[in-house]
Chain A
Amino acid sequence: MTGSPILSDGGAVKRALRLFLCKAVWLVAVILVGGLFGATLVRYGPGYGVDERELDPRLSQASVEALRGQHHQNASLLSYYGHYLKSAVHGDFGTSESTQRPISELIHQRLPVTARTVLLGMLSAWSLALFLAMLGQFLRGWIFEVCSTLLTGFLLALPSTVIALLFVYFRAPVFLAVACVTFPKLFRFIHNLLVEAYEQPHVLAARARGIGPVRIFLRHVLAFAAPALFALVGVSLSLAFGAAIPIEALTDSPGIGQLAWFAAINRDLPLVVNLTLLVTLVTVAGNSLADYSGQLAARAS
């Protein structure tokens, strides 16, 4: 067995390392800019610097002044942002205004629920989309095209909130709702990708030589489609997290999505912004990893 072309070539290793570094720098840039955006929202959002404790008649004037002083320390946006970043590095994301609980504690409680929902939903959507897209290649007929176009078109035309309500009515698992939202986009992309792959000259030549369909699929079609499929994993992660908000909110699933909705309804900007940053971090990391794997796969093939 010959070694992998990526590892056998020193230049390729350097390129892979550079690619990885680029992705890491991009991730940090997104987090920093996203953080600045969030800090701007919180700093200039309604209610910033207003502390209900100032109205407490039991507090002395000195205590009230001390409370005001705390807010004045972070009066400018940059000092607020710097303070926020410094605390975030130490795992302190501040306190939720609506629940009066540490945001890190809320995230710690809710993240596993959403992670499970999103991962199971993605797995279900990917399995179904891959299966149907492959079936479409073997059936190859207008009936399949019409049926799949109508089915995915119908699902795409439904707001994710309505899909969530259907799952509440039928008491179906929440992750299937996430799968329903992500499936049509995944299927359409994979289907088009496989159509394109099967139209490649080398695939046509392999078919003409009488090579079996399974071997053609595994050796030629998958090799062609792998980079795009890897990239699609990252995109589907963003889609699934986006779908989690309305679905968790309406199905009463105690995850990050429901928390974000609750925070938005209660104008709890620090919580919304931190959740946005968390989801950004997860989706950008997932996208970068998927892109990186896809580019490595493209070079390997």
Chain B
Amino acid sequence: MSAPKSLRLISAFLLCVIFLLALGANFIAPYSYAKQFRDAPAAAPSAAHLFGTDALGRDEFSRLLYGTRVSLLLAPAAALLSTLIAGILGGLAGFLGGWWERAILASADLLMALPLLFVLLALRATLPLDVAPLISAMATFLILSLLGWPSSLRVIWAAARNIRESDFLLLARSSGSSPLRIIARQILPNLRPVLAAQFWVNIPVFILAEATLSMLGLGVMEPLPSWGNLLRGLENPSAFHANPWTIAPLILLILVVFCFQFILPSREDFA
């Protein structure tokens, strides 16, 4: 069931607002995400610290804004890379057929057979412990995108195969169009809705995967904030009772994932 248009518009609007707030973190956030106020650890919300401070005295509101930026910039980047890989491989499998198709599909099935979170842990464990926070963030999302393409590949392959067997492609070939022209004028425009749908589907998946990994201490490294490592504040119930704003990253994450669920393209959009 696809969401009503009004709900999709509201979701898109909310996502835009959150995205803009995250982009403007440098200007909106009152402090740097790493700045410590050693005289005010675990402080309650006040005029100086809107959402209070964490156990190390860092401003929660600033960290939330910067964390949102990390999650909302890197998850779409990872989704883009993942969709690109799936698009290239799925497109090749769909158009070339034969052994290419079998080999690509078998490798995708093989990768899908491996339990994602276990493989993520194994790959993440190969990274050195003293890796810089920004590198750890990029590595986390890179690993997610390198492991996340097989599920998209199946969908793109099916669409590409349909195009290969379509009458308009036969007509284009018989009229002497070059392969490059066929790809640019016939194939890519017809694959675009499927690629866009896979891109949107992957973003919340990667946001949630990063949150899970970071909460387990295997994602984005401190002091760089992300929604995942900000959620680690929830592990301490007493800190949560003292400062209810600790739950803000979770509310934002749920809101964003919900919005993504609502704005996902419906079947009618493909028609």
Contacts and interface: CB of A to CB of B under 8 A. Distances in A.
A161 interface: yes
Interface string B215-235: 111100000000010010011
Interface string A258-301: 00110111011100110110011001100100000000000000
Contacts of B122: 38, 41, 264, 269, 272-273, 276
B271 interface: no
Contacts of B1: 145, 149
B130 to A, nearest CB: 11
A276 B119 contact: yes
Contacts of A265: 216-218
A250 B235 contact: yes
Contacts of B254: 154, 157-158
A46 B128 contact: yes
Contact of A161 (B125, B215, B258): B215
B163 interface: no
Interface in A152-181: 153-154, 156-162, 165, 169
A157 B21 CA distance: 21
B25 interface: no
Given A46-B126, A149-B1, A157-B253, A30 B115 contact: no
B115 A261 contact: no
B204 to A, nearest CB: 8
Interface in A215-266: 238, 241-242, 245-246, 249-250, 260-261, 263-265
A59 interface: no
B180 interface: no
Interface residues of A, number: 47
A66 B115 CA distance: 38
B176 to A, nearest CB: 42
A118 to B, nearest CB: 12
A153 B258 CA distance: 7
B110 interface: yes
B114 interface: yes
A147 B125 CA distance: 41
Nearest to A161: B215
B261 A157 contact: yes
Contacts of A280: 113-115, 118
A264 B212 contact: no
Contacts of A159: 208, 211-212, 215, 228, 231, 253
A255 to B, nearest CB: 13
B85 interface: no
Contacts of A279: 115, 118
B74 to A, nearest CB: 16
Contacts of A44: 126
Nearest to A149: B1
B215 A269 contact: no
A29 interface: yes
Nearest to B237: A169
6 contacts: A30-B110, A38-B122, A153-B258, A161-B231, A162-B215, A269-B122
Interface of A: 29-30, 33-34, 37-38, 41, 44-46, 145, 149, 153-154, 156-162, 165, 169, 238, 241-242, 245-246, 249-250, 260-261, 263-265, 267-269, 272-273, 275-276, 279-280, 283-284, 287
| For the complex of A and B, 4 pairs with smallest distance between CB atoms | A157-B257, A161-B215, A264-B121, A276-B118
Given A145-B1, A159-B228, A263-B121, 18 more contacts: A30-B113, A34-B110, A45-B125, A154-B258, A159-B212, A161-B212, A162-B215, A162-B231, A241-B118, A242-B115, A242-B118, A246-B215, A260-B118, A260-B121, A265-B216, A272-B121, A280-B118, A283-B115
